[in-house]
């Protein structure tokens, strides 16, 4: 029984990986999203739509449980340096941070949201055959902070990665209920009850794409900035059953991520050791700071990439204009 309780607590911690969202003034209540989350992907869309000849920048936010707070620190530094993505791709913890940022929140607002988040905001224990947590509170929490805005209507296009349970296929949600898509993306198997959408069950996107760089490339990104917050196997304690379970996941995810990260232009990997509890405010701040510190070291390289890509786009545009005149 003690082991079950420990698993429940641990799963709760993993879930809230990176919840963030400040209390909003009760001025008006947006209509609830009634459309199911769905995938209506148009690959290469950003290459075909790129009429202004500027480099398309994608921000990829990976899975990683409580380490998700580091995503906020990374976004803060990018924003402070005038770097805003044209679209975001997120898995699990990254889908939570990404969707709320995509709704128009500033990096500072993300920080305030993270520091105000309470366990009761996102945890709903419901012990059953398929899991300990239901996930409905996560869905409601995200929808509340995106103003019940559907994925396709978010100011910054957002792509949420999940795993279709029956066949293990990667699914990318980009339409409909934002909170529902995120709920699917964070549904860690055996901890969360799988998220059922239109009769199909979905679980954590980190199982198939822990740092979804390839999706960003397929959509047409010229520059991919990936934030990898996965637990490094070397830092994982393996002295008990829970530690062994974590290590199994960490090894598998690190191998999967390594392949995709080869296709990223920038890989930001904050130095995280998961020593703090997710609901420890100081721990949250330290994790965000780790994201800030690591991202800051990459700013010169990112700016250089942007300048080079812009010059390349401008040169191509000049060539096309000259060709048309002939």
Catalytic residues: 92, 204
Question: From CA 206, how far away is CA 255, in angstroms rounded?
Answer: 12
Per-residue b/e over 11-34, b at no fewer than 16 CB within 10 Å?
A: bbbbbbbbbbbbeeeeeeeeeebe
Question: From CA 198, how far away is CA 93, in angstroms rounded?
Answer: 23
| CA 179 distance to own-chain centroid | 13
Q: Which of 141, 168, 209, 157 is nearest to 40 (CA)?
A: 157
Residue with tokens 């996930």: 135
Burial class (CB in 10 A: 0-12, 13-18, 19+), 272: buried
Q: 63 and 94 in contact (C-beta within 8 Å)? A: yes
């Amino acid at each position: 029984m003690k082991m079950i309780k420990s698993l429940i607590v641990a799963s709760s911690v993993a879930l809230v990986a990176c919840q963030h969202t400040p209390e909003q003034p009760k001025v008006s209540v947006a209509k609830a999203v009634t459309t199911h989350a769905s995938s209506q992907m148009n690959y290469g869309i950003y290459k075909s739509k790129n009429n202004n000849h500027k480099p398309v920048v994608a921000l990829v936010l990976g899975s990683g449980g409580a380490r998700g707070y580091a995503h906020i620190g990374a976004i803060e530094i990018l924003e402070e340096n005038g770097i805003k993505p044209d679209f975001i791709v997120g898995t699990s913890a990254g889908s939570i941070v990404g969707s709320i940022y995509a709704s128009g929140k500033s990096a500072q607002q993300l920080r305030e949201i993270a520091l105000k988040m309470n366990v009761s905001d996102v945890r709903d224990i419901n012990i059953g055959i398929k899991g300990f947590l239901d996930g409905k509170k996560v869905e409601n929490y995200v929808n509340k902070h995106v103003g019940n805005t559907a994925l396709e209507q978010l100011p910054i296009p957002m792509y949420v990665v999940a795993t279709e349970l029956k066949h293990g296929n990667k699914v990318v949600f980009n339409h409909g209920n934002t909170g529902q898509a995120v709920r699917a993306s964070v549904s860690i198997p055996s901890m969360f009850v799988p998220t059922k959408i239109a009769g199909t069950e979905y679980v954590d996107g980190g199982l198939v794409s822990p740092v979804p760089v390839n999706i960003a490339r397929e959509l047409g990104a010229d520059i991919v900035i990936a934030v990898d917050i996965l637990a490094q196997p070397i830092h994982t304690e393996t002295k008990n059953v829970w530690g062994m379970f974590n290590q199994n996941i960490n090894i598998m995810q690190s191998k999967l991520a390594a392949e995709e990260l080869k296709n990223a232009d920038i890989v930001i990997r904050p130095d995280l050791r998961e020593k703090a509890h997710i609901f420890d405010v100081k721990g949250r701040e330290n994790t965000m700071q780790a994201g800030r510190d690591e991202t800051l070291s990459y700013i010169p390289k990112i700016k250089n990439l942007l300048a080079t890509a812009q010059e390349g786009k401008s040169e191509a545009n000049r060539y096309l204009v000259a060709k048309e005149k002939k």
